[in-house]
């Protein structure tokens, strides 16, 4: 085996990243399949409203790309968790590497996945509009939500990419924590679901406040900083956990 001293960390990370691009190609095919399914679900409309007054009945069908957004967010979390499993971690050691390089290459892979997921999610909004316009709904389009300005698209892509980075890093940390003990893959989801139920029962606004912390940030620089700092903290946490995992081997 080649000595670690003879290869810089950057080279190792690069090689591992290249390996993961091949090994995890199914991550991207699943993204495509999921987004297509979500678009198909959205074709029926995401909501409808009706109102009647003065001999006029008005019915509107609302179309949004929310299904694609939600499924893409779930997709990044699930894949971030899946690449922390023992089998995947051991695959990373088939050639010269260490925990740090493995984590960094995973972070790079999740970053790439976030960029591709963010771009395709926002562009899928165009596909939905075109399909609805030409093939699905012949009713007149009313309102101002149909037209995209260039600024809408750019803001949407940037924001979506950073949301995926945030969720990906959170999923990665969560996945790494579940590897600490064989019971944790069962306990952690139960804890998460239990917390959601508790929050719902106590009508606590903690989730709303948390989402407001990111979503209501109108300053682009602060928004990016908030997400980057949170994500870096998640990755540092994951690296520390992975070192503990290595020490136990």
Partner 1 sequence: MSIISMLLPLIIFVFIILVIAVAAGKLSKLFTAKRGYWMLFGYSLLLIISVGVYYFSAVSEEEGVQSKDFDMNRDDLYNVLYDGAPIESYQKYLEKEWEFPYEGDTLYFDYLGDDMNTINVAVERYDGNSIEASFYQTPIYVNGENVREYMNPIDLQLYSDQLVIELAESRELRFSSFAKEFPMQQFREGNDDMWSGYEIEWGTQLLYLRIPNGIKTSSNYDIYIEYVSE
Question: What is the footprint of partner 1 within residues 225-244 (CB under 8 A)?
Answer: none
Decide: residue 210, CB within 10 A, 0-12 exposed, 13-18 middle, 19+ buried: exposed
Q: Could you give the CA distance from residue 229 to residue 184 in angstroms, rounded to a whole number? A: 26
Q: Point out which span in 96-104, 178-186, 217-225, 229-237 binds partner 1 (CB under 8 A).
A: 217-225
Nearer to partner 1, 61 or 98 (CB): 61
Q: Could you give the CA distance from residue 225 to residue 230 in angstroms, rounded to a whole number? A: 8
> With contact defined as beta carbons under 8 Å apart, do 172 and 110 qualify?
yes
Residue numbers 3-42 binding partner 1 by CB under 8 A? 21-23, 25-36
Residue numbers 107-136 binding partner 1 by CB under 8 A? 116, 120-127, 129-134
Buried b (16+ CB within 10 A) or exposed e, 37-58: ebbeebeeeeeeeeeeeeeeee
Count residues near partner 1 (CB under 8 A): 91
Nearer to partner 1, 4 or 58 (CB): 58
Contact between 166 and partner 1 (CB under 8 A)? no
Contact between 89 and partner 1 (CB under 8 A)? no
Residue numbers 50-79 binding partner 1 by CB under 8 A? 51-66, 69, 71, 74-75, 78-79
> With contact defined as beta carbons under 8 Å apart, do 166 and 118 qualify?
no
């Amino acid at each position: 085996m080649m000595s670690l001293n003879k290869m810089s960390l950057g080279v190792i990370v690069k090689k591992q990243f290249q390996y993961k691009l091949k090994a995890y190609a199914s991550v991207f095919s699943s993204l495509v399949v999921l987004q297509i399914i979500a678009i198909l679900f959205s074709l029926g409309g995401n909501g409808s409203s009706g109102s009647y007054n003065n001999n006029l009945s008005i019915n509107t069908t609302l179309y949004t790309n929310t299904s694609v957004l939600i499924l893409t967010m779930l997709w990044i979390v699930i894949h971030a968790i899946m690449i922390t499993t023992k089998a995947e971690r051991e695959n990373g050691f088939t050639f010269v590497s260490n925990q740090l390089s493995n984590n960094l290459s995973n972070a790079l892979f999740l970053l790439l996945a976030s960029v591709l997921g963010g771009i395709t999610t926002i562009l899928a909004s165009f596909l939905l509009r075109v399909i609805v316009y030409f093939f699905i709904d012949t009713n007149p389009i009313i309102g101002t939500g149909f037209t995209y300005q260039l600024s809408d698209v750019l803001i949407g892509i940037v924001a979506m990419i950073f949301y995926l980075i945030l969720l990906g890093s959170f999923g990665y940390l969560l996945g790494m924590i579940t590897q600490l003990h064989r019971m944790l893959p069962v306990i952690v989801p139960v804890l998460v679901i239990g917390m959601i139920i508790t929050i719902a029962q106590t009508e606590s606004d903690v989730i709303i406040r948390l989402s407001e912390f990111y979503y209501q940030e109108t300053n682009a620089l602060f928004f990016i900083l908030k997400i980057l700092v949170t994500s870096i903290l998640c990755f540092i946490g994951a690296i520390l956990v992975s070192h503990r995992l290595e020490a136990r081997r």
